[in-house]
């Protein structure tokens, strides 16, 4: 199995951003799955209102932003590389 890091794409327009407004939404996942496609499907099933639980998101994205590279990144994590924090997901109101 592989580890995958999924995050929203930066620089989405406000009109086409499933993470606007920011509350009640997931902003990142680390998933263990064999393929990127499997990782994206698992993340999409575990998301919040960005996944279409809010009606306006369904209208724009079909309710599946974790499935599409237009809205989210999905990169394989490996043990190689420099020391780093993999994910910090913090929101302040």
- The pLDDT tens digits for 9-42 are 999 998 889 988 888 899 999 999 999 999 999 9
Strands 29-33 and 2-8: antiparallel
Domain-embedded: residue 11: yes
Does residue 86 lie in a domain region?
Answer: no
Q: Give a yes or no: residue 68 inside a domain.
A: yes
Is 49 within a domain? yes
Does the residue 47 lie in any domain?
yes
Mean pLDDT within 62-86: 91
**Residue 83 domain-assigned?**
no
In a domain, 45, yes or no: yes
Whether residue 87 lies inside any domain: the answer is no
Under a CB-based contact definition with an 8 Å cutoff, are residues 76 and 7 in contact? Answer: no
Number of domains in the chain: 1
> 61 pLDDT band (50/70/90 cuts)?
low
Overall pTM > 0.85: no
Range of the domain at 15: 2-77
């Amino acid at each position: 199995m592989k580890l995958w890091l999924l995050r929203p794409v930066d620089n989405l327009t406000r009109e086409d951003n499933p993470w606007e407004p920011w509350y009640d939404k997931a902003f990142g996942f680390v998933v263990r799955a064999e393929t990127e496609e499997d990782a994206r499907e698992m993340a999409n099933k575990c998301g919040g209102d960005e996944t279409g639980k809010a009606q306006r998101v369904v209208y724009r994205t079909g309710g599946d932003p974790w499935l599409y590279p237009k809205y989210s990144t999905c990169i394989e994590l490996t043990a190689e590389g420099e020391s780093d924090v993999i994910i910090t997901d913090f929101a302040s109101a």
